[in-house]
Amino acid sequence: MAKKRIFSGIQPTGNIHLGNYLGAVKNWVDSQEEYENIFCVVNSHAITIKQDPKELHQKTYELAAILLACGIDTQKSHLFIQSQIDEHAALAWILDCNIPMGDMSRMTQFKDKSAKNPKNINVGLFNYPALMAADILLYQVDGVPVGEDQKQHLELTRDVAMRFNRDYGECFKIPEPLIPKVGARIMGLDNPESKMSKSSSGANHAIFLLDSPEAIMAKFKKATTDSHTTIVFDPTRAGLYNLLSIYEIFTHKSRESIEQEFAGKGYGQLKSAIAEVVIESLRPIRERYERLMGDEGYIREILAQGAQSVRPIASGTYERAKELVGLV
C-alpha cells in the first residue's frame, strides 16, 4: 500500500523553540517512515508581514538547516522552499478567482493579524489562505497536520477544492486534517498559563533550539513555579507541571519514577536536572546546525534537489487546473 502523502508548512520567521520542536518538528521527524512527507519553508507567506529582506533570506536558510539538524532526512522526505516553485503563486491566483469574498472575509486569522499590524493590512495578508490552499492542493496530499489556529484555513482549502472539482472537473485530492497528538503542549516558562510562543517578548519565556547551554540553564532557573514544596504531576500547578512534562518527554521516564526521583528535593534541584537533560538533548542538534551553516552551498544544493523532487507533482496539478479553467 502506498504511503500517505502529508504536507507541512512552516514560516521562516522568529526562532524555533522547544514548543515548536516538541509540538511539531519532532513529530515530523518521527513520521518519516510512516508517511511520504513534503516539508515546505513557506517564505512567501512570511512577506504578508513586513520583513527585512536580508534577514528573511538568512532566516529561510537557517530554518532549513534547523530542520535538517533536527533529523529531517532528504533521502526519505521532501524539503523545499515555497518561493522556488512558481506554481504556488500561480495556482493561488486561479483559486482566488474561485473563492467567494464572503468565505475569505470570515477568516479569523486575518482579523487577528490585521488588528496586530494596523499599519500594514495588505491584500496578501487577506489572501494568505488562498496561497496556503495552493501549497496543499498542488501536491495531491492525503493530509495536513493542523493546530487549532489553522483549522479554518484547511476547511477553506477543502471547500475551494471540492467546488473546483465539481465546477470544472476532477483536479484536486481533498486533504484531511491531521490533528496532532496531544501531550506536547509546552507552556511559556515565565507564564505557564499561556502556550510557548515565537512572538512573546519575555526574555525567559521560551527555550530556543539554538540557545547556548548557559542560556538554557539560566532560563530554567528563572522559570515560574509556586510556593508549594512537593514535586508531583499536578495540572493545577501549571509551572511545575510544565517543567515536569518537559522532563518526562526528554527522559522517557514514567511519572511515578520522576516523582520518586525528586521526592524530598527542592525546585532548585529539579530545575537544574531538567536544564541538564534539555541541554544534552539539544546539543547534537545545535552542533549539526553549526556544521550545516558552515557550508551554505551544501544547504542550497539540498534545497534545490528538494524543489526538483516536488516540481513535477506541482506542475502536473497546475497544468491540469489551467486546462480545466480554459487558460492556454
Q: Which of 93, 67, 15, 11 is nearest to 44 (CA)?
A: 11
Which member of 4, 26, 173, 198 is catalytic?
A: 198
Shortest Cβ 248–ligand TRP spacing (Å): 26
How many whole angstroms separate alpha carbon 50 and alpha carbon 225? 37
Catalytic annotation on 3?
Answer: no
Closer to ligand TRP at the Cβ: 45 or 237?
Answer: 45
Shortest Cβ 32–ligand TRP spacing (Å): 17
Shortest Cβ 321–ligand TRP spacing (Å): 17
Binding footprint of ligand TRP on the chain (CB under 6 A): 7-9, 11, 42, 45, 132, 135-136, 144, 150
Closer to ligand TRP at the Cβ: 11 or 204?
Answer: 11
Which member of 4, 113, 221, 253 is catalytic?
A: 113
Strand 176-178 vs strand 143-145: parallel, antiparallel, or unpaired? parallel
Which member of 4, 173, 195, 221 is catalytic?
A: 195
Catalytic annotation on 195?
Answer: yes
- Residues paired with residue 226 on neighbouring β-strands, in sequence order: none
Strand 35-41 vs strand 176-178: parallel, antiparallel, or unpaired? unpaired
41's enclosing H/E stretch is strand 35-41
Strand 78-81 vs strand 143-145: parallel, antiparallel, or unpaired? unpaired
| CA-to-CA separations, 42 to 57, 64, 294, 306, in angstroms, rounded | 12, 11, 23, 14
Measure CA 143 to chain center.
Answer: 15
Closer to ligand TRP at the Cβ: 273 or 321?
Answer: 321
Shortest Cβ 222–ligand TRP spacing (Å): 29
Shortest Cβ 91–ligand TRP spacing (Å): 12
Q: Return left, alpha or beta for 160; rule: phi > 0 is left, psi -120 to 50 is alpha, else beta.
A: alpha
SS3 state of residue 177: strand
- DSSP assignment, residue 237? S
Closer to ligand TRP at the Cβ: 42 or 307?
Answer: 42
Convert 238-252 into a string of H (helix), E (strand) and C (coil).
HHHHHHHHHHHHHHC
Closer to ligand TRP at the Cβ: 132 or 209?
Answer: 132
Closer to ligand TRP at the Cβ: 11 or 225?
Answer: 11
Catalytic annotation on 116?
Answer: no
- Residues paired with residue 143 on neighbouring β-strands, in sequence order: 6, 176
Shortest Cβ 226–ligand TRP spacing (Å): 32
For 274, the grid coordinates are 531538567
> Residue number with the shortest CB distance to ligand TRP?
9
Q: Which residues are catalytic?
A: 113, 195, 198
